Amino acid sequence: MEHTQLPKGFYSCAKRLGIKDDTPDFTVIYSETRAAAAAMFTKNQFCGAPVTVGKEHIKDGFLQAFVINSKNANVATGNQGIQDVHTIIAAVAEELTISPEDILPSSTGVIGVPLPVQKIIDGIPGLRGELKKDGLKDSAEAIMTTDTFAKYRSEEIDGVTLCAIAKGSGMIEPNMATMLSYIMTDAQIEPETLKAVLKRAVDVSFNMVSVDGDTSTSDTVAAMANGLAGPVDLEKFEQVLTDMLVSLAKDLARDGEGATKLVEVQVDGAKNDNEAKAMMKSIINSPLVKTAIFGADPNWGRIISTIGNAEYPIEPKKVSVAFGNIPVFSGGEPAESNLEDLESYLEGDEIVISISLGDGPGKATGWGCDLSYDYVRINGEYTT
């Protein structure tokens, strides 16, 4: 995964501005030409100040830079928060001689604490000279909060390059968007097309992940396509983008706060995909299921209980449940399985739970993680 080169015409830099500690906390990702752009944002009604501004700036379908800080979300910070965003993007726009309206700002970190805006402003002069072609990994590192590893991908499609970075570890239940993810390509794609492709890819990737059922105030996924490598086979592009975002989504789940295991939940036989997705989410978010998986406890009755709480009718006798290839329940009765096989399967670090409802063609696959002592530790002492 050491392809850290950005697509043609893209440059980035990452800095340590001391927003909270001395880790990388600020990045600018810049395209030398204005790029077709699309973005999706959190549905949280207390969205962050940068989200409010970013929604305005994406409206015309073009951007030239992403400006992102970690360690402070600039959320619930009132009018001062909005002013702080404008101060920062004005400074970046002047440094890069681009329009402030072509900048999409993002912030991620603690909520309700004023942004230390002066520290950021002080870091901007001279930033143009630090931009580099191979900055993909550095940018991925600069947007991390409680993440334990940088999440980035790069692929070639017939001479076109597609790169993406993502962050997210806690407060993860994306709703039509995700935590932070940025996609850069030199493919030539119209804004409206980019938006449609992005939405479809996000729906089966980031929107299928949940770490703790809480939708963040800062979720943003944004893409820039600057066209410098010419046109691309759109079908191929969408497939590669979708695979890339699914892969990053699984990284988010695997790196969920305190996680020791990646959990994949596959639901089929629901009346429709929405009902399958709702069932998937309820399993992936159940603290009882998550703690049992952490403890490798073969307590599959908790899956049954969660299924039974569906808001739509279930026929218990048609339901079957398996862990990996080990059936545990079918036809209204416990399956004849070896409990020891199940226990040893649960000791693994990737757990697949499959549920068939036997009621229709609806299906969904999603990802989450277990609930460990470390989740409690990380979230019991987050700000202090």
CA distance linking residue 163 with residue 7, whole number of Å:
7
Report the alpha-carbon distance of residue 356 to residue 72 in Å, rounded. 42
* DSSP class of 62: E
178 is catalytic: yes
Closer to a second copy by Cβ: residue 65 or 293 = 293
Judge whether 282 and 309 are in contact, CB under 8 Å.
Answer: yes
Between CA 326 and CA 230 the distance in angstroms is 49
Choosing from 42, 108, 178, 217, the catalytic residue is: 178
Q: What's 151's DSSP letter?
A: E
In this complex, which beta carbon is closest to a second copy, that of residue 5 or of residue 337?
337
Interaction of residue 348 with a second copy, rule CB under 8 A? no
Cα–Cα distances in angstroms (integers) from residue 315 to residues 18, 273, 282, 342, in the given order: 56, 17, 17, 25
Of 188-196, 198-206, 228-236, 302-310, the segment contacting a second copy by CB under 8 A is 302-310
Which listed range, 5-13, 97-105, 197-205, 328-336, lies at the site for a second copy (CB under 8 A)?
A: 328-336
Return the SS3 of 200. Answer: helix
In the complex, the smallest distance separating the C-beta of residue 78 from a second copy, rounded to whole angstroms, is 4
Both tokens of 71, joined, read 């360690």
Q: Which of 39, 92, 47, 45 is nearest to 68 (CA)?
A: 92
The minimum distance between CB 15 and a second copy, in angstroms, equals 25
d(CA 88, CA 103): 10
Return the exposure string of 334-347: e unless at least 16 CB atoms fall within 10 Å of the residue's CB, then b.
eeebeeeebeebbe
Return the ∠ at Cα 93 (arms to 91 and 99), rounded to 5°: 145
Does 274 interact with a second copy (rule: CB under 8 A)? no
Q: CB under 8 A: which stretch of 15-23, 123-131, 232-240, 373-381 binds a second copy?
A: 373-381
* Token pair in block for residue 151: 């999440």
Joined tokens for residue 117 = 């805006």
Q: How far is the CB of 286 from a second copy (least distance, A)?
A: 6
383 binds a second copy (CB under 8 A): yes
The footprint of a second copy on this chain (CB under 8 A) covers a number of residues equal to: 68
Applying CB under 8 A, the span of 5-13, 96-104, 224-232, 310-318 interacting with a second copy comes to 310-318
Task: Please name the residue that has the structure tokens 């009755």.
Answer: 301
Query: Nearest distance from residue 20's CB to a second copy, in Å?
Result: 14
Shortest distance (Å) from residue 335 CB to a second copy: 10
Q: How far is the CB of 280 from a second copy (least distance, A)?
A: 16
The stretch among 11-19, 153-161, 221-229, 366-374 that binds a second copy (CB under 8 A) is: 366-374
Is 256 in contact with 169 (CB distance < 8 Å)?
Answer: yes
What string marks each residue from 58 to 77 as x (binds a second copy by CB under 8 A) or -?
Answer: ---------------x-xxx
Q: Which of residues 5-44 bind a second copy (CB under 8 A)?
A: 43-44
Residues with active-site annotation: 178
- The residues that touch a second copy, with contacts defined as CB under 8 A, are 43-47, 73, 75-79, 110-114, 170-171, 175, 212-217, 285-288, 291-292, 294-295, 297-302, 304-310, 313-314, 316, 328-329, 332-334, 343, 371-373, 375-384
